[in-house]
Amino acid sequence: LRALSPQDLRAHAAEALTRARERSVVLTDAVDDEDLVRQHSKLMSPLVWDLAHIGSQEELWLVRDVGGREALRPDIDDIYDAFQHARADRPELPLLGPEETRKYVREVREKSFDILENVPLRGRRLTEDAFAFGMITQHEQQHDETMLATHQLREGDPVLQAPAPPPSRSGRLPAEVFVPGGAFTMGTSAEPWALDNERPAHEVAVEAFFIDTAPVTCGAYAEFLDSGGYENPRWWSERGWAYRSEHGIDAPRFWKREQDGWWRTRFGVYEKVTASEPVVHVSFYEAEAYAAWAGRRLPTEPEWEKAARFDPVTGRSRRFPWGDEEPTPEHANLGQHHLRPAEAGAYPAGASPLGVHQLIGDVWEWTSSGFEPYPGFAAFPYKEYSEVFFGGDYRILRGGSFGTDAAAIRGTFRNWDHPIRRQIFSGFRCARDTRPGEVG
């Protein structure tokens, strides 16, 4: 991005915005109007709220701030402000209807494109490297992933289709990978579209450790379940056990035990759980309990990032596990191209220099770390993106899922959620300390 001419940068931003919008349209045109305005779960907004909120944020940042243009709909700012209304209360708001919403987001987008063509991309931090356009692209893609999670919660016939992801192309992989101890560069000061919480680049020391080559599979997770793991407080943290008991949690979200084993509902299809696939829709507490049962632990956030970015030959941290190039379908299962995670070994071209697979794509991975600012953090361009969440009851998730677009993921990207959440596309991999005398 840094090397692009202003004209190429504009074209790149326009292409990213267009791809995001195509996806928003797929997700909202897939259902009828009744489904669009309905709340499918108390945890989620009606899809029509997400769509108008996408337009509202774009109006605020691109049309009004970057473009300096007049407000289109100042009357609806409050309705689509995520901080004014909890998700559970959003169906009660005087929301724009489906057609009005579609018209609104189209009108905002026409203005954004006009502004992108004409605004100087130098001289102001918000427009440097077309940052605001990248930020709004990522915002739309993040809500698209949220809408995909709403689709997963929706009852009724399937409305989304996608081909199956590739099978393993890696032969037999080792169970775990050794990551050497020492300092590495975490975060970034160079990534043009990185969000405020990924900045700045800084050195972090980690002890040597081992990390799983691939995310924990449904087959491995079912062993934990079938050995009574959900009935034994020994594996659970105190808060995790209380959460599992209060909510009657006895398996990953969407799983059901049948006579012939575990089944699941996935985007409206009831199917047998595939043992070789990464487990998804587990909370942090479940991930933590599985790890304890397996005699292991979750990786910390710095450990995850070192495993993903550290190149032992150059000592440098890469943008992605495979290098500095943008993700392609050869590198990772991203972008809702498939509606499920792929089995271990499906993306050999996406492995890290140390040989860790599928860190990007497939499933978000819980880490043991809370959401804290990096040393030197500065809120940009607004406190409500990250700063207000620091120190809250959150755990960091890394790497993105099959429902995350390439525009909204990188080796430095940080996601966070409450430890009880599992409607998101969350899985995990385990790590462990080196044993005395053990060398990788």
Q: Tell whether 139 is in a known binding site.
A: yes
Q: Residue 153 CB, nearest distance to ligand AVJ (Å)? A: 15
Q: Does residue 415 bind ligand AVJ (CB under 6 A)? A: yes
142-171 footprint of ligand AVJ as x/- string (CB under 6 A): x---x-------------------------
Binding mask 416-435 for ligand AVJ (x = CB under 6 A): x-------------------
CB-CB contact of 209 with 430 (8 Å): no
Q: Which two tokens stand for residue 279?
A: 């487990």
State the binding string over 366-405 for ligand AVJ (x if CB under 6 A, else -).
-------------------x--------------------
Is there binding between residue 412 and ligand AVJ (CB under 6 A)? no
Residue whose C-alpha is closest to residue 17's, from 194, 156, 147, 135:
135
The interface region with ligand AVJ, picked from 70-78, 139-147, 244-252, 373-381 by CB under 6 A, is 139-147
User: Least Å distance between CB 408 and ligand AVJ?
Assistant: 9
Binding pattern to ligand AVJ, positions 332-371, x when CB under 6 A? Answer: ----------------------------------------
CB of 1 closer than 8 Å to CB of 9 = yes
- The per-residue b/e assignment along 17-30, b for 16 or more CB within 10 angstroms, e otherwise, is bebbbebbeebbeb
Cβ proximity to ligand AVJ: between 352 and 368 the closer is: 368
The HSE-up count of residue 90 (CA atoms within 13 Å, CB side) is 30
- The distance of closest approach from Cβ of residue 50 to ligand AVJ in the complex, given in angstroms and rounded to an integer, is 9
Q: What share of the chain is helix, strand, coil (3-state, %, to 5)?
A: 35, 10, 50
Of 136 and 218, the one with the shorter C-beta distance to ligand AVJ is: 136
Q: Which residue is nearest to ligand AVJ (CB)?
A: 142
Residue count, binding to ligand AVJ (CB under 6 A): 6
- Between residue 188 and residue 207, which ones bind ligand AVJ under the rule CB under 6 A? none
Residue 49: name the closest of 88, 19, 21, 17 by CA. 88
| Residue 87 annotated as lining a ligand binding site | yes
Strand order in the sheet with 431-433: 176-179, 209-212, 431-433
Query: Annotation-wise, does 244 bind a ligand?
Result: no
Tell me the β-bridge partners of 388: none
Amino acid letter for position 156? G
Give CA separation, 424 vs 150, 198, 391, in Å.
9, 21, 21
Contact 184, 306 (CB under 8 A): yes
The least CB distance from residue 417 to ligand AVJ, in Å, is 6
For ligand AVJ, the closer of residues 10 and 23 by Cβ is 23
**Are the beta carbons of 357 and 274 closer than 8 angstroms?**
no
398 is in an annotated binding site: no
Q: Which residues bind ligand AVJ (CB under 6 A)?
A: 139, 142, 146, 385, 415-416
Q: Residues marked as binding? A: 53, 87-90, 139, 143, 417, 421
